[in-house]
Each structure stands twice: as C-alpha cells, then as structure tokens.
Amino acid sequence: MTGLAFDPVLPWPILAALAALALLVALWALWRGLRGWLWRGLAGLAAALALSGPALQSGTSNKLSDIVILLDDRSASQALPGRSAQTDEAVDELTRRLEAIPNTEIRRVTVGDDDDDGTLLGTALSRALAAEPEARLAGVINVTDGLLHDMPMLPATAPAPVHTLLTGQPEDWDRRLVIEEAPTYGLIGQSVNIRLRIEDQGNVPASVAGQPARLRISVDGDNERQLDLPPGVPLDLPITPEHAGQNVVSISFDAPEATPPELTDRNNAAAVQIQGVRDRLRVLLVSGEPHAGERTWRNLLKSDANVDLIHFTILRSPDKLDMVPVQEMSLIAFPTQELFMERIRDFDLIIFDRYSVQGILLPVYYENVRQFVEEGGAILVSAGPEMSSVESLNLSPLGAILPARPTGRIMSGPFLPQLTDEGMRHPVTSGLPGAPSEDEQDGHWGRWLRMSQSIPSPNAQVVMKGMEDEPLLILNRVGKGRVAQLTSDQVWLWGRGFEGGGPQLELLRRIAHWSMKEPELEEEALLADVSHDLSVTVTRRTMKDSAGPVRITGPDDFAHELPLTEAGPGRFTAEWVPPGPGLYRLVDGDITRVIAVGPAAPREFEETVATPDRLEPLAGQTMGGVLRLSDGVPSIRTVREGRPAFGEGVGGDWIAITPREAETISGQTHRPILPDWAWLLLIAGLALTGWLLEGRGWGRPATPDEQA
C-alpha cells in the first residue's frame, strides 16, 4: 500500500493563502506583460508545496486466512445407533474439503452434554464466535442432531453463514412418555394426579401410528397396574401416597414392535417421586395446672404451622372453693366426654403436662386413651413432682402403658441433663446442639432443678438421664402407638436461659414429632440418596450396634449385597453405583426402600428425532443452510458475502463459505518527496529563471539602451 501524505509546516489556510498570492503575482505579472510571469507563479506555488511537506508513504500488509468453525455435537443423543459414525464421517470429509480451500483455517469445537442440562450447543457456539476475530470468520458448520437445550444462549446472528448438517435418518421415529405435571408432595391417603401422555415423533411406521401403548404403573414397585393409552391423549393418573417420605411411582410402556425400531426405549419410562406428608397434626394438650413451663408448650405448638392445638388447663381443680358467682367467672367445663370418648381418634398426639389424677377424668377415659395409643396414637407425659405422689398418672389405668414407673422419690437439686448411649443414637436426641458428652462435663446446657425418680419399663429406651443417672426422658412403643415421658417439668429453664439454657424447643419438637411418627425421626431408617453422577449413598440409622448388609434387588434379576460401615453412633453408610437405570429395592431386615435411578443423561433422551427447527432461524439470518447428512456430505464452495451460501448443484448439495480478505498491516515508511535542499534549489531556480528571462533578455531583442 503506497500513498501520498502531507505533513504541513503551517496550517492549511495559510498555505492556501500563499498559493493564492503566488497566482495573483503571476496574473499581475502577466497583465504587466512581464515575460517571467509563469516562472514567478511556479516559484510561489513550489514554495507553498514545499511548506505542505509532501511525502511518499508506503506500508507492508499481510493477507489473513479465513476461519471456519466446525462444531460437532457428541452429546448422548448423538450416540444413538448410526449417528456417531455419521458424525465422524461428516467431520472427516468436511475437514478434508475445507483444507483444500487455500488460505482457510478450521477451528474445531466439540460439544458434550451436561447430566442435567442436556446439550449446551448454543453456549458453545456463542463462545466459539466470541473467540474468533469477526473479520476473519468465513463460516460455521454444525454437525448435530439439532437437539440443543439452551435455545436462549444461541446467538441471534453471526458474521458469516451458519450451516447445520443434521445427523439421523429420514425414517427415524420415536415414541416417548411425557410427564406433563407431577406433584412433589401429597397428603397421605389422599389421591394426587400425575398428568402424562404418550407422544410419537418422527416418521412413525403405519403399524404403530395411532396404536395405544400399554402403560405399566406401580408405586414403590408393588401392585402393577396396566392400562392402554393412545398417543397424544393426556391422562390424569390418580396416585395415592400410602406412607410418609418418598413414594416412588414408576410408569413405563414396552417399546412398540416395528421395523425399523424406535430410536430409543430410554424415554419409555419415568419415575415420579412424591413426598408423602401428613395432614395437619392435631395435638391435645392437657395441663394439670397453670405452671411456669406451660407457655413453653404453647410457644412450641402454636409456632408449628403444621399443628392444630387444642389446649385445656385445669385452672381450678374440684377441691378448690370460690364464692364468686359463675357468671363473673371465665371458666368453662372441661369437655372430657367429648375429648376423651367421642373425638379421641381425631388426635395424633395427647400431651399430659403436669397432669395429676384429680378425679376429673373417669377411669374409662384413661382406658380409652390406652386403646388410642395401642391403635396407633401417641401420648407424651411431661411430669412434675405429682408423678411421685398418690395422684400420679401412673396409678391410673394409663400407668400400664407409660414407659416408666415412679418410685415416689422426688429428687431436688441442680443436675445437668445428659444423653445416654442410646440417646446418642436416637434421632430424638442425637445431635442436639450443645449436648455435653460423657468425658467432657463442660457442655453448654444449663441445669434443671428437680426430677422424679423412676424405673423404666423393660422395653423402653432411656435417651436422657438426669440426677444420679436416673432416667429423664424415656421413649417406648405400645402396640402401634408411642409413648414418651419426661420425668421433670423443668425443660422451661432452658428456654429462660438459666445458666445459658438449652435447646428446649428443638428437644420438645423432636419428641412430639417422633411420637407422631415423622419419618425423619425414625430410629430404624434406611435412606438412599441418588446423586448426580448416579452413585447412591445408602445410610442406615439404627439403635443396634451393627447393621447391614443391605440386600438390593433391581431390574433384570439384579441382586447385590451391600455391606455398610459405621459412620457415627447409630449411623452406617455405604456408597453404591447401580449398574443401570431402573427401580431398585433396598432391604435391611423389615425396612424397605425403593429408589428410582434414571438414565445417565435424562434430558438427552426426552426427544431423539433429529430436528432442523431450533437452528433454522440462525441459518436464515446468516444465509446459511440446514441440510441432512443422510443426503450425503455437501461440497463446499466460496461465495461473496451477502450471497446465498447453500444450494443444490449438479454434484449434489453445496454449502459455501465467504472469504473475508482480511489483512493486517505490519509496517509503514514515510519518505518526503524531496529533501529540503532540493526544494530550496527548485524554488530558487524557478525564481532565478523568471528574473533572468525578464532581465537578461534571453529570447528577446536587446533594448536600445543595452545596445549602446
């Protein structure tokens, strides 16, 4: 690149004025008839030109190569039979053809898949475009099935044609199960709906099209139900969660028989997990007398959004005398008949808070409460000193099911509540914040000041101990129900912050919820978490000293014994990698748990039939084409920018890249046309010539003076 450049010594207007002056002088000289007028003018102009500093400028530039992005999709859906070979072949062929075009570089980008997010082709393409200089990009070629899952990340346009070559065959088809709506939670015993449909995609063979699929539905692997569902018809499938915690609903259909077979059967099944939750829990709190700890119970139960509390306090026991007329009192009769006979089955938990037998409840009511527990109810006794008196609840018919028998001794004096060995394992007490341990006496808990001595019943679990290691919190199961007993009423001291206090709300909450059989607080539990990389963490919580091995059964007669290792008091864990997708049943003793293990990349197999739809807008914007590889790998041409970049030729389809002719300038020289002394010589020569012409008379007759 060479050119003329000016480097004026004076501002341009002055130079222009100078040139104009030179012309004026020349014109004046002409008018005066001076013979040197031309030379005078030229000298002036040359002076103006010299001042403008003309120079020759020349640069050295390099032509840059064109860049073509060749992107291949290697996600799981591209691994369907045939597609991977198709992709390899296309990439090899395109590489060869692109290399044949002179001055062209290939940038390879390979897209994998993310387990949960599917194929992120849009993101990869945006990144690749951003990484290349815009002026050199001559084309983009995607080799993919078109099933990308990040449409919003796909660039709207590109500086060069974006072509997409679709894998797959024209006769590809697939039938899949679509879960349109599935609840995450459901009330136990109340049915919830899963909305699903069967969808056919692609070129469905006539023998299959419109034919119903036979659905198999089971909950936790049991009670398989079958029903036929034609494609495209939404179905509301009622499911009733039977138990708390995960209810695994597995839905599948068999692959329809046809030639060619459907692309994949991985999208023919789904597992929906519904967390079974209980309806609002109904708690009856009966306080035997107003006392300092009563509001602790109220605070706990009223702050629990999941609890309907019905509370009664014996504000005045029958042996009290008060002359005040009834209409001036705000007392109502304790509706014992209604609560303990008629409505007792409506409650999930009855709490006796410092309740003593005061002759208010008839023996038959206690009998009824006992029956209520044996049939699956729960009672919690928080006992004060009345437990050791003759009015003890233990002396009522209820005593037979209470987990501890009082000795009659009230133990007064400060003591630190502690966890027993069983308590360290038991979910009600294990991990309570700030718990003092055996060897370390300086825990954060505050002390309590009195308790009743008692003898726990043989089957009961003592999870906390108090003064002289006497039982403080005792838990037991009776029939189908549960009973819990606190032998001290001073848990409220923790709430008041006496000596720093303790986690009284958490403890009481756990006791109450354990007695109402909350799955998270079960002593014997088998938990299994399926992680993203499809490994399963199996955790067994138990009160025993050992656990396992866990027997695992799965699809295709899979059976495995998984040994567990101890991870803490009452916790045994193991890692396990299932051999493939499907429902697995984990069994240890009486505890069973069903887990659903999905395919490795579930999104990849939601849809499998190659589609041009998602990449077509971008191709349209950039004059690129979307072609099917099943028609052969297209040839590559070059066209000018702005021209259609694909078409059909004699030898088959072609796609084009647009050479960009980009170049870089690597150096520049600046050379004045004449050196300064040459300018001086030139101007002086011109001026001298004019003067000589006018003065010495070259080329004119001598004047008479001169001849004399």
Partner 1 sequence: MNLLRKLAVALFASLALPGPSLAQDAEPDPRLVRAADEVALAYVVTGDEEADRASEAGLRGLSEVLTQRTSVEPGEPIGINLDEDDLSLLTFLYWPITDSQTAPSAAAYARLNHYLRSGGLILFDTRDGDIAGLGGPDGSAALQALAAPLDIPPLAPIPADHVLTRTFYLLEDFPGRYQGNRVWAEAPPADAVATEGVPFRNLNDGVSPVIIGGNAWAEAWAIDKRGLPSFTVGASFEGERQREMAYRFGVNLMMYVLTGNYKSDQVHVPALLERLKEGETAE
Residues in touch with partner 1 (CB under 8 A): 282, 287-292, 294-295, 298-299, 302-303, 305, 308-311, 313-317, 320-322, 324, 327-332, 338, 343, 346, 385, 412, 414, 416, 441-442, 446-447, 449-450, 490, 493, 495-501
Residue placing its CB nearer to partner 1 in the complex, 154 or 410? 410
Residue 294, helix vs strand vs coil: helix
Q: DSSP letter at 469?
A: G
Residue placing its CB nearer to partner 1 in the complex, 41 or 495? 495
Least separation in angstroms between CB 376 and partner 1: 16
Least separation in angstroms between CB 435 and partner 1: 14
Least separation in angstroms between CB 372 and partner 1: 15
Q: Distance between CA 284 and CA 320 in Å, rounded?
A: 25
Least separation in angstroms between CB 153 and partner 1: 42
Residue placing its CB nearer to partner 1 in the complex, 293 or 427? 293
Least separation in angstroms between CB 337 and partner 1: 12
Residue placing its CB nearer to partner 1 in the complex, 169 or 418? 418
Q: Distance between CA 357 and CA 363 in Å, rounded?
A: 10
The residues with which 481 forms a beta bridge, in sequence order, are: 478
Residue placing its CB nearer to partner 1 in the complex, 442 or 556? 442
Q: Distance between CA 58 and CA 664 in Å, rounded?
A: 14
Residue with tokens 């002088």: 25
Least separation in angstroms between CB 442 and partner 1: 6
CB 586 within 8 A of CB 552: yes
Least separation in angstroms between CB 238 and partner 1: 17
- Alpha-carbon Rg for the chain, nearest whole angstrom, is 47
Sign of CA dihedral 197, 202, 204, 209: positive
CA atoms within 13 A on the CB side of 580: 7
Q: Quick one: three-class SS letters along 59-97?
A: EEEEECCEEEEEEEECCHHHHCCCHHHHHHHHHHHHHHH
Residue placing its CB nearer to partner 1 in the complex, 192 or 550? 192
Residue placing its CB nearer to partner 1 in the complex, 415 or 514? 415
CB 83 within 8 A of CB 156: no
Least separation in angstroms between CB 343 and partner 1: 6
Residue placing its CB nearer to partner 1 in the complex, 500 or 644? 500
Residue placing its CB nearer to partner 1 in the complex, 200 or 489? 489
Least separation in angstroms between CB 354 and partner 1: 10
Least separation in angstroms between CB 338 and partner 1: 7
Selection from 198, 244, 222 nearest residue 516 by Cα: 244
CB neighbour burial string for 249-268, b if at least 16 within 10 angstroms, e if fewer: bbbbbebbebeeebbbbbbb
Least separation in angstroms between CB 308 and partner 1: 6
Q: Distance between CA 175 and CA 149 in Å, rounded?
A: 20
Question: Which phi and psi angles does 277 have, rounded to 5°?
Answer: -125, 155
Residue placing its CB nearer to partner 1 in the complex, 254 or 338? 338
Selection from 77, 114, 94, 103 nearest residue 163 by Cα: 94
Q: Distance between CA 225 and CA 250 in Å, rounded?
A: 11
Residue placing its CB nearer to partner 1 in the complex, 339 or 474? 339
Least separation in angstroms between CB 239 and partner 1: 19
Residue 100, helix vs strand vs coil: helix
Residue 233, helix vs strand vs coil: coil
Q: Distance between CA 489 and CA 701 in Å, rounded?
A: 146
Selection from 62, 27, 55 nearest residue 41 by Cα: 27
Residue 483: is it exposed, middle or buried by C-beta count within 10 angstroms (0-12/13-18/19+)? buried
Residue 338, helix vs strand vs coil: helix
Residue with tokens 């808070």: 353
Q: Distance between CA 682 and CA 675 in Å, rounded?
A: 11
Q: What six digits make up the tokens of 690?
A: 């004019």
Residue placing its CB nearer to partner 1 in the complex, 477 or 496? 496
